[in-house]
Structures are given as structure tokens and as C-alpha cells.
Amino acid sequence: MQEHRPQRDSSLKAATRLLDDVLIEIVDTGGYDRQIEGSSQLVSLEGSANARNAQRQVGRNWSAVASRQRSSWKHAEPWELAELRSPGLERMSIRAAFAQIYYPKSRTPATSTFRAIIQQDDDLRSNLALSHAMDAVCLTELGSVTQSQAYLYGGTQHYQCALGMFRRQLKSAIDAQQFDSKLLATCHALMFCQRFSTFGGNGDEGSYMHMRGLGHMMTARGLDSFTSEFDLLLLEDYQHYALRLGMIHRRSIDRRLEKAWAERQRSSAGPRYFPQLNSLAFQLPGLLEACDNACAEIRAENLNGRAGACTRAMKLMAELGGLETTLQAWLQGWYSSTEQLPYRPVPVRSLFFLQRHLSDKLLDTFPSALDFPSFASAATHSRFWACLLLIRSTSAELCSAVIPDERPSARQLHNVTECADDLCLSMAYLCGAQEHGLAGPAAVTGHLRIAFEWYQKTEDRAKMDWCKAIAEIVQERGLSSPTLVT
């Protein structure tokens, strides 16, 4: 008697096929279907001279913990030594080091999605794909910071193993409800790996493809199923990625996830200004795409069709103006609700990290920087100024397309350049303060490209060189730097 096998949903087939194509585009999967020998083991922290040297460079707090561990190993009984060197303890130490490097001094929001994934240790044992993906992220970060080839090799091996397991789980899913939190978190961790140049190189193509696949998985599963705090954190971080990449690529985002996004805000304790800003700006990538299409349409139309295209462009300019008004009102509401100064100007040479990496000429490009009360405040201002820069620059471009003989006024250009300069000053703070760890440089990558493109239009060579120097700093930290083409 032939065994009956349930059929997969047609919508699920489409989502799976798209995501599978995305994964194939990212890497050659020829070797991923074979199991990596000893896949439950981690690269040992004590396995080589390079690893020992790397361990000493990881961070003061974690190095002290590792030193105490080595001391206890020296005087331990054999059975105690075996227990202390278990994969579980190695994994715990590596993840503690990851958090210490990426989020030092806990200046990022306490509800950081990746921290929430790290805290799922009890559940990781039941999902090897997620466990390997997390190991890949942590080992790659440690290898990038310490220049340890042992860590980088281990991160690559775990990434390959996680990707192979993830693809098999995806293909075996019968309905979209099997896209559980762990499967989504695995895709999220693989997307996180693309932040590092080991996997992502330079640019954000890998992150963009992973983001597309994750969005299709979430849509296929359905918004009503996102009820747990962990699911909503994953959704929030997806929207953060989608907005950042949508602003860079000027492409619309699937707005069907806004319902769950609003639920995330209602379920949070206290004001969550960064998600609120993202919600307000969520329509911006679609507007940018429509404006680009309108400009192309105006230039392509003959005299008879030009009037209709210009009318559509004027409507888009009104929408951009309305969005800017909404964003400015949000900013004033935020400022009025806090007693702290939003930021204060400081000499750029007080940011010692930048002073070591930039020449005197580049430091003089922006002699002042901005000091913010927290990492979250700086990241929020950076996102706000990036949105304002895109709105104002696109409005100026639309105006030039509608009235070809009239160039943007000096005041218009000044307002746009002012946004770009403020954006760069916030990036100097994020990238130049040591206590921000890798989270600071990672937060500037997309916005750096937006500012650079405006300076390129205005032919401001000094500020273009400054942006390139910041991109080099990002790349030196082992992160994927934005592609800045002159």
C-alpha cells in the first residue's frame, strides 16, 4: 500500500522556490548538503596559538573570565577538565565575547533582536540550524576583530552547515505554519552574517537577498501568528532592515506587515521612538521609487504626454512635503517629551578613534561633531536626517525635471546639504566612540552611502573623501562597507 504524503500549499511552494533561488544566488551550495564532521562541536578557544592570541584581544572583561577558566583548568581533575571544555561552555564564552564586542557597555536598546536570539540557549539544542547560524555570526565577528584565521574558518564552516540545514528544513515544510520562530531566526542570523566582509564582501546585495526571503516567509506564515515577544522582535528587526535597504535601493517595501509592526509598538513598555520613526518613514522607499519613475517618464514623454507626467510629479512632491511635515512634528514631540538635550557640538578631535584614523585634512572637513546622550538617540537622529535628506534631494530632483530650465535655489541646496552634514556628524559619533563597539560602524553603512551620493551630485570632493575614509574604517573593522563609486 502506497504511503500517503500531504501536499504542500501552492503559496508555500512559491515562497519556498523564491527563497531557495535567493539562497542559491548568495553562495554555491554544492558542498552544503554534506554533513560537516563533528558538527555539534565548536572551534576550540584553546586549539591553537592564533586562537590564544585572539582570545587575549577580545575584550578586558571576557579575557579576565577566560584567564580564570585557564587557571581552573590547570589545577582541575581530568573529569573536571573535560566538563569545563565542553562545547556548551565554549559556546557560552564565545557568545559572551560577541556581546561584549558588538554591544559594549549595553548602550544599545535592551530589546535588541540579536540579543534575544542569543538568549534562546535552552531552545538552540532542539534546532541545530539556528545553533550553527549563531556560532557562525559569533566566530566571524571574533575573527574579524582579532584577525584570527582560526575563528574565521570556524565561522565559515558553521555558516555552510547552517545554510544547508536551513534549506533542507525549508524544502521539507508542508505548510507555512512550519515557518516557526527558530526557522525565521535562522534566516535572520544568516542575514546578520552578511554584515561582515567575510561573507558579504563590500555592498549589501547578500543582506538584500536574505531580507527578501525572510519577508516572503513572514508573509506566507501570516501576520496573525506573530504573537510572542520573540516573533515581534524578529518582525521589528526585519522592518528595520527592510527600511534601511529600501532607502538605499529606492524600492518599495511590502506594507502588509504594518499591522504586526503596529502591534509591536502597542505591546512595548514605554515609548519606542525608533520603531515609531520607522513606521512613519515606511512609506518613503515607495515614494522614492515612484519619484524616480516619474522623472524617467517626464524625460521620455513627448510634448503631448508631458503634461500628465508633470501633474503626477507635482502630486508626488506634495506627498514628500507632507511626509517631511509629519517627520518634523514627530521630532518636536520627541524633544518635548524628554528633559535631556538632544545633542551638543563637540570638537571632532575629541573623538580619539577618528583622530587616529583620519588625516588632519579630513578632520578639518568637519571640525565639529555631535555628542548624543545615548547610542539609541544617535541612531534615531541618523535615521531621521537620512529620511530628511532623501525627501529634500528627491523634491529638488523632481522640481528640476518638471521645470528643466530652472535650477534648484541656493536655499534648497543649502537645506539638503545641511541634512547631509548633520547625518555625517551623527555618523562620526557612532563610528568614533569606542564604547559603541561594532554596533556603531554597522549603524552607519547605509546612511554613509546616502550622504556620499548627495555630495557626489554637488561635486563636494572634500566631503566625498571624508565619506570614503569612514567607509575604510568600517571595512577595517571586518564589516561590509558600502560601495562608494566616484
Among 57-61, 269-273, 412-416, whose mean pLDDT is lowest? 57-61
- The domain segmentation of the chain, as residue ranges, is 10-180, 284-476
Q: What is the pLDDT of residue 401?
A: 86
pTM: 0.78
CA distances, 228 to each of 80, 181, 224, 272, 417 (Å): 39, 9, 11, 18, 43
Helix, strand, coil: what percent of the chain each, to 5? 75, 0, 25
> Which one-letter amino acid corresponds to residue 47?
G
What percent of the chain clears pLDDT 90, i.e. is strictly above it? 19
CA distances, 59 to each of 182, 195, 362, 377 (Å): 30, 21, 30, 25
Q: What is the pLDDT of residue 390?
A: 97
Q: How far apart are CA 59 and CA 192, in angstroms?
A: 22
pLDDT band, residue 210 (cuts 50/70/90): confident
Q: What is the pLDDT of residue 33?
A: 32
Q: How far apart are CA 166 and CA 403, in angstroms?
A: 52
Query: What residues have CB less than 8 Å from 172, skipping those under 6 apart?
Result: none
The string of pLDDT tens digits covering residues 345-387 is: 988 888 777 778 888 888 889 988 888 988 888 888 999 999 9
Q: How far apart are CA 426 and CA 423, in angstroms?
A: 5
The string of pLDDT tens digits covering residues 167-199 is: 888 888 767 667 888 888 888 888 888 888 887
The string of pLDDT tens digits covering residues 43-54 is: 433 333 443 443
CB 153, CB 43: distance < 8 Å: yes
The pLDDT of residue 317 is above 80 = yes
